Structure 1
Amino acid sequence: MNAAKSSSLLTFPTSVFPKPLREYIEHGSSQNYPDDFVGAALLACLATAIGASHELEVNANWHEPTTLFIAIVGDAGVRKSSSLNYAMKAIRTRQKQQIQAHMLAIQQYDEQMRQAKANKDSCALPELPSGEQTIVEDATVEALIGLLAQNPRGLLNFRDELASWTRDLNRYRAGSDEQRWLSLWSAGSITYNRKTQAPLFVERPVVSVLGGLQPAVLSEVFGQGKSENGFSDRVLFAYPNPIARCVVKVSVPITIREAYASVFERLFALSHISDGDSEYAPHLIPLDHEARAAFEQWSEDYINRKINDPNTPAREKGVLSKLEAYLLRFALILHITAYVCKEEGSCEAISASSICRAMRLVEYFKSHYDKIAASSSPLPDTDKVINWIREKGGTVTKRDIYRAKVGGLDTQAKATAFILDHVGLGVLVAEEVPQKHGGPSQTVVHLLI
């Protein structure tokens, strides 16, 4: 990574948060927890606490949920796990309370079942209670859908090592889980058909993702076709320069911890609305006049101008389009959090102040994306490679590709990786063809589009 890129890396803008959370992050620094890790993780926790209770309404056809996919990135030993645990303290407390309540409900169920059987009263058989929860770990997509049906407010999909999430995406059925996660990011309705039970349907699933990544596995997020289908564009990365480790000699004051916990208690207490068609419907919050003007100007200057520029790389265009949605999601989360902390006077509409604070978060995450893009191996120019194969009649060999060095595929390994990625995406078909005069077979590639 060059010096210019390093100097443009932004530190986490803790000032976007209300005072109790700013102070919590500041005291986390005394525990040797990087502000970037705690701040980014807090965003995902706040999104989870608000959940599906509120959405931002841009217009009748454009609603943004609180859903965030966040990865904190750093080498081993930089206190990623400790920082995550510090930020997640409040939602882990809620999870513990939910588990305790469920265990009590199960005990009552067992007692009622015992009495009903003793009295031979089949009409008095109780219904097995379904427990609420806030955090899921190591769940398949099918299990997650079932949990979302039981927890319509939403969930946090947490992985201490987030690489396990990306590795599991297509373990059972190539492509299907990844496509479901693309839909979950948009909070689009999702249905899971079961063989022996009624289908599961979640109308507006809200599930955020949080975890840590080591730099060495970043290619697993960007590779294997994930940049082409927009998966990696949906992940926000916090990748700060490392801070020096030191011995922790102080504790976080109880007043700071209680103020932090109080913010989450108030967020979890936010209610949803019910209508005739849905058991759980969100409150819709529009942009006020000034906020709308600020958002539209920013969208035109920061997003549209760059996307319309033919010199902007295709990969960056995908990231920019998702950052537009993220700006609105940040504004929603920050506004509601400020409201429960009495730093916003109303929750009837998103303010221009919340939009401006959200802009700072977008700039922060974009700078960390730029760091990753600059420090990782450049991805091939997919359009150039596909067009080149098309110009060659739609069929070429792997050797043809890397000898021509088309689209940055200047080695056999790069050409192999590209072919495997695009076979998985259904763009290419590859076959091993024996050579006429003996020798090793050749990989012949056929274009399907």
Structure 2
Amino acid sequence: MSMGIAQEICNKVMSEVQGIKDTGFPLDAFPEKVQTIILDMVRYENFKVEYLAPAMLSAVSSALGGTYYVRVKGQWITNAALYIIMVGRPGLGKTPPLEAAFQPIRRNDNANMEKFKTDMAAYQNAAKESKGDCGMEKPVLARTLVSDFTPEALLLAHYNSPRGITILVDEIMGMFNSANRYNNGQLIEQLLTAWSGGALDVVRVNNPIPIHIEHPCINMIGTTQTKRMGELMKKGYEENGLLDRILFTLPKVQQLALWTKEEDNSTHHRSASAMEAWQSIISKILTLDYETGEDGTGPKFHIIDMEEEARDEFIASHNATIQRTNAIEDDNMIESRPMKAPVHVARIALILQVLRYACGESHLQFLTKQAMHGAIRLMKYFEDSYCRIRGYVANDACDEPSRELLSTLNDSFTTADALAAGKQLRVTDRTVMNYLKELAKNRLIKKIRQGEYQKTVFETQQMTTSEKSRSVNCNE
């Protein structure tokens, strides 16, 4: 039996033992080597796979930066930047897996900091001795991770680190709450523009040389509590499109696994080995660099295409979304979020392909069908999480009487059905119509055609942490 097959069998057994299937997370979308790392960290560090795996996707994207792009369609290309928010109840363990995933990036930043200190000391000494121009270029600090910043400082950090930067904020609502503190929401505009691949500029009177970033690569990842998602969705980010650009992960089970004495005895060795393996993978990705043009100019990012089978699956997936959108008759019910799916899928597929290369399981010549298939499944998981979050927010926003009416109705119903249910609850027809408006406003139902409705999120009662919600695709 080959090592690869043995590892695959072992991963399947461990996934079964640890109940990964119950989480709904498609762990097998990752390379076998990464699956092993994740399973070890889940077991020996009590991490949730729904937090660790997405954080690792973000870490890979951060390490890759803007060195590789994937062709989406025609001249439409994109890098692998992701915006991710990890959602869950307080104390669920969101931060530890985030820090573990980014530990290799922090080590790289720390090494850059030490080099910067050494170079700056040499520069200052040379300048002092020459009493003027020492002939040396003043060193700048290149770092990937930024946490506390102004919009101008963010672009300066990116300017000094052209490969790319990552906004990593533990409680990310603090960043959004202060987003309008500087220059009327300039940070949000930067995030919107960078995600879409547009150039970024900062021109100031006291700085004669403007900061210009032609091909920005900005990742963003952070955590927040479930109860604060309503606060995020009220900031106008749905209207300006920022919400559509963010991937969300929310565990189905809001409980941590109990510790066991047997696991604790072997925790240090196994978790340390897993972190060493992850460090090795990220280090290999960090060595990937830009290509130099034949005319000596550069650096230029690499562009890779999808193999035919991967592109076929990619197109089929998006065409299914287009057909669902075209079938909607009411313009007010058309969602903008599904139209961002091709970019998300292409970026995740590029990350998976890079991971397979770094694990020695594939190459970087083109995107394979395996990477594309995994990306589509991961995207479905992220959208399922988003739907469940919308369910929590909608239930919190709606009054109990309107939710009670909804609980008595089938998944598809008519106005007449709602009015009949209202009579059973001794509610007037006018009040029932107001309930329907409230439910539609909070996206618990959608209007299919005149007088016909469908639940977008099945009733979830009080949505306590021990209850599981049943939901349909919000974009169907």
TM-score normalized by the length of structure 2:
0.74
Matched to 1:24, the amino acid is: I
1:154, CA displacement in angstroms? 0.3
**Shift in CA distance, 175/407, structure 1 to aligned 2, threshold 3 Å:** farther
Identify the match of residue 62 of structure 2 among 44, 48, 60. Answer: 48
Report if aligned partners of 2:150, 2:182 keep a CA contact under 8 Å in 1: no
Identify the match of residue 285 of structure 1 among 298, 304, 307. Answer: 304
**Shift in CA distance, 246/285, structure 1 to aligned 2, threshold 3 Å:** same
- Partner of residue 428, structure 2: none
After superposition, give the CA deviation of every residue in 1:139-193 in whole Å (9 maximum; x if it has no partner): 1221111111111110110001111121122222334332221111122111111
Aligned-partner Cα distance in 1 for 2:45–2:312: 41
Matched to 2:222, the amino acid is: G
Aligned-partner Cα distance in 2 for 1:166–1:130: 28
Matched to 2:279, the amino acid is: A
Secondary structure in 1 aligned to 2:236?
coil
Report if aligned partners of 1:190, 1:201 keep a CA contact under 8 Å in 2: yes
Unaligned runs of 5+ in 2: 1-20, 399-430, 443-476
**Shift in CA distance, 125/272, structure 1 to aligned 2, threshold 3 Å:** closer
- Partner of residue 33, structure 2: 20
- Partner of residue 168, structure 1: 178
Secondary structure in 1 aligned to 2:33?
helix
Q: Does 1:226 align with 2:244?
A: no
Report if aligned partners of 1:49, 1:264 keep a CA contact under 8 Å in 2: yes
Identify the match of residue 205 of structure 2 among 195, 206, 209. Answer: 195
- Partner of residue 4, structure 1: none
1:337, CA displacement in angstroms? 1.3
Report if aligned partners of 2:81, 2:218 keep a CA contact under 8 Å in 1: yes
Aligned-partner Cα distance in 1 for 2:335–2:25: 23
Q: Does 1:216 align with 2:227?
A: yes
**Shift in CA distance, 314/145, structure 1 to aligned 2, threshold 3 Å:** farther
Identity %: 24
Secondary structure in 1 aligned to 2:65?
helix
After superposition, give the CA deviation of every residue in 1:214-235 in whole Å (9 maximum; x if it has no partner): 0121123211211111111111
Report if aligned partners of 1:288, 1:352 keep a CA contact under 8 Å in 2: yes
Aligned-partner Cα distance in 2 for 1:219–1:375: 8
Higher deviation after alignment, 67-76 or 221-230:
221-230
Q: Does 1:243 align with 2:260?
A: no
Unaligned runs of 5+ in 1: 1-7, 381-401, 415-449
- Partner of residue 367, structure 2: 350
Report if aligned partners of 1:9, 1:371 keep a CA contact under 8 Å in 2: no
- Partner of residue 218, structure 2: 207
Aligned-partner Cα distance in 2 for 1:222–1:278: 45
Aligned-partner Cα distance in 2 for 1:298–1:102: 46
1:9, CA displacement in angstroms? 8.8
**Shift in CA distance, 239/315, structure 1 to aligned 2, threshold 3 Å:** farther
Aligned-partner Cα distance in 1 for 2:182–2:173: 17
Output aligned runs, 1:314-353, within 5 Å: 317-344=335-362, 346-353=363-370
Matched to 1:294, the amino acid is: E
TM-score normalized by the length of structure 1:
0.78
1:195, CA displacement in angstroms? 1.3
Root-mean-square deviation (CA, aligned residues, Å) is 2.6
**Shift in CA distance, 96/405, structure 1 to aligned 2, threshold 3 Å:** same
Q: Does 1:294 align with 2:299?
A: no
**Shift in CA distance, 54/294, structure 1 to aligned 2, threshold 3 Å:** same
